[in-house]
């Protein structure tokens, strides 16, 4: 691989929207009165915490039906009356996963393999092993509930096996095929492009770039500052240790930043086309942590024709739903799209520093 090769970007270049990153979050009580100056008052119940980006409302686990008045704040466009919030997640516990398992083949019968996510190292393991499902079919952990799984145990071979595509400890450029592949970059700064199947890609150590294709893919950056972009399927993206950039693309994706200050890019392709009329596949972020410097990047949404040249803030709402926070966009046409669910996150921890409208430098980082 040479550094002169530059594959085409899947992410369209964003025109510069007229939006400032200098937000001024305020607070409203349940009745809509500004309480920002009442510093000596005791804290109110978490019914609403509002910024210039919109408002936050506490919803029940069943999913409240919210009228427009609760969302009107500082000139923000209100939610259309009768908009229903999605149910709260069943569990917001973050399960740490160091290793994943899958059935792979290079020659002969499929074998069970284990990948150390930080290093990207691969080894065959003996069976039987108690395995637990994840958000991705054919990928398992040794811990129930890891990587978006529901704790379902399995000791039988998976119906999905992955053909191994192995790189070296140096800098690799790997491309998948039409089959279901497991692509392993190991060490070095790798570029991995999955193929047309349902794939796994492991960057390992180094600053890696992983790009998913049309299937449901599992993309793992490993140690280093990685750029990970999903395709049109329901993907699982895991950054690992380092300051990573994650963009799920189309589909309902599961995102895990890992340790470090990570950027989660939000935008459901086609959701803001006025001819289509809204609607999104919602991403789920398992470990958003504002204290670590994690940020929500809304630049792709701000550059959509529906918002381009204007201010996205009046259409942005940060909504508390049970134990989770929902990031919602209300379009000028009145449709409400939930772009992401931040599991186990309190909405009042989302500060101006947690939101950006400026694309990360060098995205996508295709070498």
Q: For position 260, what pLDDT does the model report?
A: 95
Q: For position 40, what pLDDT does the model report?
A: 40
Q: For position 110, what pLDDT does the model report?
A: 87
Q: Are 278 and 331 in contact (CB under 8 A)?
A: yes
Q: Are 60 and 322 in contact (CB under 8 A)?
A: yes
Cα–Cα nearest to 337, from 278, 277, 274: 278
Any idea of the CA torsion for 108, 192, 112, 151, to the nearest 10 degrees? -150
Tell me how far apart the alpha carbons of residues 8 and 1 are, in angstroms, rounded to a whole number. Answer: 16
Query: What stretches of the chain show up as alpha helix (H) in DSSP?
Result: 299-302
Q: For position 275, what pLDDT does the model report?
A: 64
Q: For position 200, what pLDDT does the model report?
A: 97
Q: Are 117 and 238 in contact (CB under 8 A)?
A: yes
End-to-end Cα distance, the chain: 9
Beta bridge partners of 181: 163
Q: For position 279, what pLDDT does the model report?
A: 57
Cα–Cα nearest to 74, from 52, 102, 57, 55: 52
Cα–Cα separations (whole angstroms), residue 127 to 103, 107, 140, 142: 11, 18, 14, 13
Quote the pTM value. 0.77
Buried/exposed code over 298-322 (b: 16+ C-beta within 10 A; e: otherwise): bbbbbbbebbeeebbbbbbbbbbbb
- Judged by DSSP in three states, 199 sits in coil
Contacts of 176 (CB under 8 A, 6+ apart): 165, 183, 192, 193, 194, 195, 196, 197, 199, 201, 213
Low-confidence ranges of the chain (pLDDT < 50): 1-92, 365-367
Cα–Cα nearest to 58, from 347, 334, 283: 347
Contacts of 28 (CB under 8 A, 6+ apart): 34, 35, 48, 49, 50, 55, 73
- Judged by DSSP in three states, 349 sits in helix
- Establish whether the linkage from the previous residue to 33 is cis, with ω within 30° of 0: no
Contacts of 287 (CB under 8 A, 6+ apart): 94, 256, 257, 258, 343
User: Which residue has tokens 């980006």?
Assistant: 53
Instruction: List, for residues 81-122, the tens digit of each pLDDT value.
Output: 233 333 444 444 567 889 999 999 887 788 999 999 988 899
């Amino acid at each position: 691989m040479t550094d002169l090769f530059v594959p085409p970007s899947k992410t369209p270049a964003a025109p510069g929207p007229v939006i400032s990153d200098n937000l001024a979050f305020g607070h409203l009580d349940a009745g809509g009165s500004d309480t920002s100056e009442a510093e000596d008052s005791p804290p109110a119940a978490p019914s609403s915490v509002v910024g210039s980006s919109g408002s936050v409302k506490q919803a029940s686990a069943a999913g409240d039906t919210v009228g427009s008045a609760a969302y009107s704040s500082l000139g923000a466009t209100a939610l259309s009356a009768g908009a229903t919030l999605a149910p709260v997640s069943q569990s917001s516990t973050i399960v740490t996963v160091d290793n994943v398992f899958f059935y792979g083949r290079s020659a002969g019968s499929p074998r069970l393999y284990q990948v150390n996510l930080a290093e990207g190292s691969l080894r065959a393991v003996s069976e039987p092993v108690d395995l637990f499902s994840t958000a991705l079919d054919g990928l398992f952990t040794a811990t129930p509930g890891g990587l978006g799984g529901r704790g379902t145990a399995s000791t039988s071979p998976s119906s999905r096996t992955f053909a191994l595509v192995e790189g070296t400890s140096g800098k690799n450029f790997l491309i998948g095929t039409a089959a279901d592949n497991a692509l392993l970059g190991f060490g070095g700064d790798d570029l991995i492009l999955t193929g047309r199947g349902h794939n796994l890609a492991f960057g390992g150590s180094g600053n890696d770039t992983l790009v998913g294709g049309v299937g449901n893919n599992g993309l793992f950056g490993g140690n280093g500052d990685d750029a990970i972009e999903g395709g049109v399927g329901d993907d699982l993206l895991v950054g690992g240790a380092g300051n990573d950039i994650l963009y799920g693309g189309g589909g309902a994706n599961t995102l895990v930043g890992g340790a470090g200050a990570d950027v989660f890019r939000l935008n459901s392709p086609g959701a803001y086309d006025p001819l289509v009329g809204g609607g999104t596949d919602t991403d789920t972020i398992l470990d958003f942590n504002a204290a670590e410097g994690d940020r929500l990047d809304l630049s792709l949404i701000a550059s959509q024709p529906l918002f381009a040249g204007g201010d996205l803030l009046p259409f942005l709402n940060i909504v508390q739903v049970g134990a989770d926070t929902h990031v919602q966009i209300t379009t000028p046409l009145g449709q409400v799209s939930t772009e992401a669910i931040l599991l186990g996150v309190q909405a009042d921890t989302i500060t101006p520093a947690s939101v950006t409208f400026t694309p990360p430098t060098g995205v996508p980082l295709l070498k």
